Amino acid sequence: MKSILIGFVFFLLSSFRSFFVTTTNSQVIHHRRLRPWPPPESGSGPSPGPSPSPHNKTTPAVFFFGDSIIDTGNNNNLTTEMKCNFSPYGKDFPLGVATGRFSNGKVVSDYISEYLGVKPIVPAYFDPNVQLEDLLTGVSFASGGSGYYHLTPKISRVKSMLEQLTYFQRHIARVKRLVGEEKTDQLLAKGLSVVVAGSNDLAITYYGHGAQLLKDDIHYFTSKMANSAASFVMQLYEYGARQIAVLGTPPLGCVPILRTLKGGLRRECAQDINYASQLFNVKLSNILDQLAKNLPNSNLIYIDI
């Protein structure tokens, strides 16, 4: 299983053109964004990344939690503006269907699942057409616009991280009724749980609504985010997850909309927001390091994109 997880890190690293290092600390794997990986060849385009694993025998299921990066359609029937089940979204998805993914095609959760050899498309937990096989091989509980901080999902009227855990519990209970407790426990222990959140906490909640409203400075706010992330991982572990990957936030100050709003006439990256992203990532990495020491028989992966 550890080799599969390391391969998964390679896959994400190639996707984000990053370089990685590993550290031995209670099965914790880290990487840092130091330079492009793999090194681009002269005149070549972007790397397509590793090919999918054709004969997966170690990762039976994938479970996704967090925000729009891995939401595969859970917001479709919510009363929220954070949805995209309409054209031109999905124009490059099979059959050109807008499924609710925040993309013109597949999203990260689909690519991870396909790479691991589980299945090419990950259904949303709330998809009414979910089949038995999907229940056994995993779904996405993520909700676009969600985050670690409790106000973030309320602002966008989406599913909170706590609600996602509740749905995960219900999912586990349903699988147990189908295949029994022993097989369910094996699926949870060997399956990969991926957590992607934090961007909306900073971009929407903190910088979108102002630090004055929150009455928190950025150091205190990012500490609360990191603590919430650690609590979420602990709950996943309590429910039986043992292979857990947690992604940090990207340099949010370089996101196009924030460059437009805060970058001036030249639309430069907002360095204060990039600093906040980096600050959170450092705290997240450190707290997961400490947490891993208290989670026996777990593989906890932190990925700094």
What pLDDT does residue 216 have? 81
Q: Residue 66's closest CA among 229, 281, 282, 295?
A: 229
What pLDDT does residue 263 have? 84
What pLDDT does residue 4 have? 53
Residue with tokens 């039976």: 60
Is the separation of the CB atoms in 128 and 160 below 8 Å? no
Is the separation of the CB atoms in 162 and 94 below 8 Å? no
Mean pLDDT per 10-residue segment, the chain (305 residues):
54 42 37 34 41 64 97 95 92 89 94 94 94 91 97 95 98 96 96 97 86 78 97 98 97 90 88 95 96 93 89
Q: Which CATH class is domain 55-303?
A: alpha beta
What pLDDT does residue 232 have? 98
CA distance between the termini of the chain:
22
Q: Torsions phi, psi of 194, nearest 5?
A: -115, 130
Quote the pTM value.
Answer: 0.83
Give the whole-angstrom CA distance, residue 284 versus residue 34.
Answer: 18
For residue 31, the 8-state DSSP code is -
Give the whole-angstrom CA distance, residue 192 versus residue 108.
Answer: 14
Show me where the domains of the chain are located: 55-303
Residue 84 to residues 1, 124, 142, 292: CA-CA distances in angstroms? 35, 14, 14, 36
Residue 71 to residues 1, 141, 175: CA-CA distances in angstroms? 25, 7, 21
What pLDDT does residue 78 have? 94
Give the whole-angstrom CA distance, residue 151 versus residue 305.
Answer: 24
Q: Residue 164's closest CA among 224, 212, 233?
A: 233
